[in-house]
Amino acid sequence: MSVLDPKTTLRNLVKKGFLESNKDHKYLHLYCDDKLVLATKISHGSDDIRDPLIKSMAFQCGLSKTEFLDLARCPLSKEAYFEILDKKGYLK
């Protein structure tokens, strides 16, 4: 079972280009050329992010669970992430 720290995940997703909107929940939006490409939400609680939410966030970010874990933990660079999104047709 995979577990992610919400604060670290938020910080790392922002490093990868996501913009944070602070409302009731932390919404993250990813733009390319001023066009909204993807959006996801992260809990502002202190509980770890567990498998069901990881799978949902991965889907919302256009990635497999394994790819999302790499994105959230930083082995997957911003450039590599955008290449994946481009290959999957998200940036067209």
Is the Cβ–Cβ distance between 29 and 18 less than 8 Å? yes
Whole-angstrom distance, CA of residue 8 vs CA of residue 36: 23
Q: For residue 5, what is the DSSP state?
A: -
Sorted by where each begins, the domain ranges of the chain are 3-87
Instruction: Identify the CATH number of the domain defined by range 3-87.
Output: 3.30.920.30
- pLDDT (tens digit, 9 = 90+) per residue, 16-69? 999 998 766 789 999 999 999 999 998 777 789 999 999 999 999 999 999 999
Tell me if the pTM is above 0.85. Answer: yes
pLDDT of amino acid 43: 76
